[in-house]
Structure 1
């Protein structure tokens, strides 16, 4: 009787190990689109500070933030544990006002490069669920059409916290992530594992 239990337990662990989609050495390439990013928040926060320090002499209106588009490469350094490198691009625009009169148009371009990790706590052949985090640097470029000196672009450190990610499919799959950071509060995409 004990041999049957021992053999059953051994087979159960072997079959569970074979079901992991994130075996050590697996690579994953994904394309992503996201919305409501930390970069949006940084831009809005900068505007509030600038308006406060100038007593309202300088202000912005008609703020528009486009989606962020990204490319991510992940590599499984251990079963279920992946490290990643990614790059994201986002555009924004707003109108600049000086003493309540329109002075010009601002168009921003942001390029973010990040490094991070995620852990697949559910890793089946057709379904994966994970959480992760990343740190990044965001470079800002500004195109200004208006009166006066053009503002200069800047750069800042950024981050991404993925509270929950879901991947559905085998080699080619769709995924969705919820969290906050440079990828957005929500982002979706397609990934290919090999």
Structure 2
């Protein structure tokens, strides 16, 4: 009888310690890929505008999407803060119809987004959450011809609102986010909590 009580108490204490250890994982590192739809659309409109003004046509348009790495710190079981560092690029060739001269355009986007996350439902391996972020993009562009090269640098206000996020996993996990902002409409990634 005493042995059964000891085993029961040891089990309860062990479970409580295990639960506390799981809850004390306050750090999360993450990587993700997103579609960067607003940046791609902005680049397409810029190329269309330049084409209309200069009498040129655009070709070989390429956009990679956006890669991000981030960190979150859990202030409580439901609320986290952190930041994401992101990179995207786009390129195209602009051919002048009258001179046949080709301008090679390239744009790089470097983004820093401080982020807040709130978990609506957090049970077991399921974390259903939303995030809001605001920060800045450093946009670096270059136009190169056979004769010259011009570069531009701009700092632009950036934001991202993802009301729908789902992470599945304990320590290691995968996630999918949906929303709108400079990172795009959808993001897919992986994270590790410790």
CA contact (8 A) 1:63 1:94 kept: yes
* Deviation by residue 1:78-115 (Cα, 9 ceiling, x = unmatched): 33111121101112111123346452211222111111
Question: Which residue of structure 2 lines up, in the alignment, with residue 65 of structure 1?
Answer: 63
Question: Which residue of structure 1 lines up, in the alignment, with residue 10 of structure 2?
Answer: none
CA contact (8 A) 1:24 1:77 kept: no
Deviates more, 1:143-152 or 1:163-172: 143-152
| Pairs aligned (count) | 174
TM-score by length of 2: 0.77
Measured after TM superposition, the shift of residue 24 of structure 1 is: 7.7
* Deviation by residue 1:42-93 (Cα, 9 ceiling, x = unmatched): 32333344445x2x53553332110211101011223311112110111211
Counterpart Cα distance in 2 of 1:89 and 1:36: 10
Over the aligned positions, Cα root-mean-square deviation in angstroms equals: 2.5
Counterpart Cα distance in 1 of 2:187 and 2:135: 17
TM-score by length of 1: 0.77
| Counterpart mapping for 1:151-190 below 5 A | 151-155=150-154, 156-190=156-190
Question: Which residue of structure 2 lines up, in the alignment, with residue 116 of structure 1?
Answer: 115
Counterpart Cα distance in 2 of 1:175 and 1:48: 35
Counterpart Cα distance in 2 of 1:148 and 1:136: 37
What are structure 1's unaligned runs of at least 5 residues? 1-14
What are structure 2's unaligned runs of at least 5 residues? 1-15
Question: Which residue of structure 2 lines up, in the alignment, with residue 39 of structure 1?
Answer: 39
In terms of Rg, which structure is larger?
2
